[in-house]
Amino acid sequence: MTAEPSTELPVSVAREHFADIVNNAAYHNEITYVTRHCKRVAAIAPVSAVEDRIGRGEIPRRGTGAALDEAIRRHIAAYGVGDSSWAHEYEESRQAEIVQGSAWDED
């Protein structure tokens, strides 16, 4: 598997060149890492690269309950199977998923 070419840009520059960045991802398989204060905070990547990583299980699909599964695993490891106070952590994960979903669904 060959690595896709990549670029790093501050968010202010990425905003000004968004259409070009999307075209580079779509037509040249380029990943652009968007930075804030010199730290990577997001990436604009070809769909195929993301779908490949989802298929290998490296990135959980949104809405599959992956966040819930992870929260329950952490809770059981810390408190044991009989403790049911994990419900609060579940509710927080569910609310975060709803908020993220609504942001994505507004296209």
If asked whether residues 40 and 91 sit together in one domain, one would say: no
**pLDDT value at 106 more than 50:** no
In DSSP notation, 52-97 reads HHHHTTSSPPTTSSHHHHHHHHHHHHHH-TT--THHHHHHHHHHHH
Structurally, how many domains does the chain consist of? Answer: 2
Tens of pLDDT, residues 55-86: 777 776 666 666 677 777 787 788 877 777 76
| Residue entry with tokens 């990577």 | 40
Domain of residue 88, residue span: 61-107
Global confidence as pTM: 0.52
Confirm if 3 and 27 have CB atoms less than 8 A apart: no
CATH number of 46's domain: 3.40.1620
Q: Does an H or E element contain 32, and which?
A: strand 31-36
Contact 7, 40 (CB under 8 A): no
